[in-house]
Amino acid sequence: MSIHQSVQRVTVPQLMSRKGQRKIVALTAHNSVMAQLVDEFLDFILIGDSTAMVAYGLPNTLSITVEQIAAHSAAVARSTRHACVVADMPFGSYQKSCEQAFENAAYLLAQGHADAVKLEGGANMAPTIAFLTSRGIPVLGHIGLMPQHVHTMGGYKAQGMTDAAAQQLLADAQAVAQAGAFGVVIEGVKESVAAEITAEVTVPTIGIGASAACDGQILVTEDMLGLNGDRVPRFVKRYADLANEIKAAVQRYADDVRVGAFPEDKHCFGIKAPPANK
Ligand code: KIV
């Protein structure tokens, strides 16, 4: 399918109108095959910076570039026609200045064919979010456990655990929403805090490890399909065990090749298939 064919995607205003109405369902995808499989079931697809780990085997999300996210985003956009396409802004691509953020976000929309971008940060990123949204770039915020802050957090830890930290998270969510973000991802936050933020902010909250109190949910697809080995956070529910299914299939293929059971005549050119038994 070409991205130039007419496509009726879920739009950013439609996502916003779902606040308090119908839950928003999202997953990550970074390649054409997965994007095609998940598209019809989702409201938005995130080309997350977790692509760094899932597709490139990197130890964290920090090293992926804008060009890489744009290439994966373009693949997802080309292969889908339903879900809104949101591309993550990589670490270092938006923190320096509003102008830097605009240049890279515009690249993700223009070359990555994304409908919106996501960036991490609370009140500190509000001026950047306002700069982008007032120039035609829809922004999804991301607060709480922010993987791009792994070094300042000292690991991947639940956030907002004290009263003061919870109040700061609420202030962050409000600042992000007031700056014009169409929604905010809340990651790694306890239920009571996620519930309070969801009740207080006017835009949809999308939870990952933040309880069912949120207006929607997102997971890394490879985690929920059981493709990520044993590195699965507690907040992930595994809906399939594809790693073991894939291993079993590859084992059967390897056995067949080794004993000469594959390919059979029907898989070969120039060998007539035997007549079917009557
Ligand atoms: O990169 C990512 O996968 C994310 C999560 C919120 C799903 O940012």
pLDDT 10s digits, 90-117: 999 999 999 999 999 999 999 999 999 9
What is the identity of the amino acid at 125?
A: M
**C-alpha span between 140 and 136 (Å, rounded):** 13
**C-alpha span between 246 and 235 (Å, rounded):** 24
Residue 9 has pLDDT above 70, yes or no: yes
Alpha carbon 182 to chain centroid, angstroms: 16
CATH superfamily, region 12-240 = Phosphoenolpyruvate-binding domains (3.20.20.60)
| Residue 278 pLDDT class (50, 70, 90 cuts) | low
Residue 1 has pLDDT above 80, yes or no: no
Contact 158, 187 (CB under 8 A): no
Q: Which pLDDT value is given to residue 230?
A: 74
Of all atoms in ligand 1, which is nearest to the CA of residue 206?
A: 6
Of all atoms in ligand 1, which is nearest to the CA of residue 48?
A: 1
Alpha carbon 266 to chain centroid, angstroms: 41
Burial of 114 (0-12, 13-18, 19+ CB in 10 A): buried
**C-alpha span between 136 and 130 (Å, rounded):** 10
Quote the mean pLDDT of the chain.
95
Tokens in use for 148? Answer: 């791009």
What is the identity of the amino acid at 265?
A: D
Q: Which residue has the tokens 């598209």?
A: 39
45, β-bridge pairs: 27, 85
ω before 263 within 30° of 0 (cis)? yes
238: number of Cβ within 10 Å: 15
Number of helical (H) and strand (E) elements in the chain, helices listed first: 11, 8
Q: Which pLDDT value is given to residue 168?
A: 97
**C-alpha span between 48 and 61 (Å, rounded):** 9
Q: Which residue has the tokens 């700056």?
A: 179
Distance 160 CA to ligand 1 centre (A): 19
Tokens in use for 273? Answer: 């298939």
Distance 50 CA to ligand 1 centre (A): 6
The sign of the dihedral angle between the CA atoms of 156, 231, 54, 78 is: negative
Mutation choice for ligand 1 from 24, 27, 28, 30, CB with most ligand atoms inside 8 A: 28
Question: Is residue 24 within a helix (H) or strand (E), and if so which, with residue range?
Answer: strand 24-28
Active-site entry in 120, 187, 196, 222? 187
**C-alpha span between 74 and 123 (Å, rounded):** 30
Distance 88 CA to ligand 1 centre (A): 8
Q: What is the model's pTM? A: 0.94
What is the identity of the amino acid at 231?
A: R
Residue 40 a catalytic site member: no
| Residue 232 pLDDT class (50, 70, 90 cuts) | confident
Q: Which pLDDT value is given to residue 72?
A: 98
With a Cβ cut-off of 6 Å, ligand 1 is lined by 28, 46, 48-50, 88, 185, 187, 208, 218, 220
Q: Which pLDDT value is given to residue 5?
A: 56
Averaged over 14-25, what is the pLDDT?
97
**C-alpha span between 39 and 56 (Å, rounded):** 23
Cβ-Cβ contacts under 8 Å for 149 (sequence gap 6 or more)? 120
